Amino acid sequence: MKKRYARESRCYKTARVFPPDVNNHNTLFGGKLMAYIDDIASIAATKHCRQSVVTASTDSVDFLHPIRPTDAVSLESFVTWTGRTSIEVFVKVVKEDLLSGERKIAATSFLTFVSLNANRTPIAVPSVVPETEEEMKLYETAPRRAEARRVRRKESKEFADFLTVNQPWE
């Protein structure tokens, strides 16, 4: 199957922080940022395979610095690694104080998408070719994250078997 460069999936988004988007600390609400992350990551995954994808897992989101109303929030997303049908996507979130110009990495995230055909069956995806130092580092460290995902998925499935679907208010 065809290979794709990591750069072919790269995409960007920049937004302001408006009053409805903040939490009680007057910083960007985490759920709002997570929606941005899922959105841009799904675009990167789709650009990589040019097939339909679903989010299988948000593997990690690390909030490193609060994002304030005077900041612009910029997200960069690209595919870092693939399995047979799964696609790992990295999202880097940079905040920029619009008054001082100071920039910081505000958050980082890894997500896994699965490519599906019209019958919602997982289908094979192209592998990824890293080029830059950042892409290479993320590619080389990906097997460790894939193994952690495998273990967590197994534990989640086992745990789900113990959970009840009964609702407490019924």
Ligand X SMILES: CC(C)(COP(=O)(O)OP(=O)(O)OC[C@H]1O[C@@H](n2cnc3c(N)ncnc32)[C@H](O)[C@@H]1OP(=O)(O)O)[C@@H](O)C(=O)NCCC(=O)NCCS
Token pair belonging to 149: 């995902």
Q: How far is the CB of 14 from ligand X (least distance, A)?
A: 25
Candidates 93, 114, 128, 138: give the one binding ligand X (CB under 6 A).
114
**Of residues 85-104, which lie at the interface with ligand X (CB under 6 A)?**
85-86
- Contact present, 142 and 81 (Cβ < 8 Å): yes
Site size with ligand X, rule: CB under 6 A: 13
Q: Which stretch binds ligand X (CB under 6 A): 15-23, 79-87, 134-142, 162-170?
A: 79-87
**Of residues 146-165, which lie at the interface with ligand X (CB under 6 A)?**
149, 153
- Contact present, 145 and 89 (Cβ < 8 Å): no
Contacting positions for ligand X (CB under 6 A): 54-57, 83-86, 112, 114, 122, 149, 153
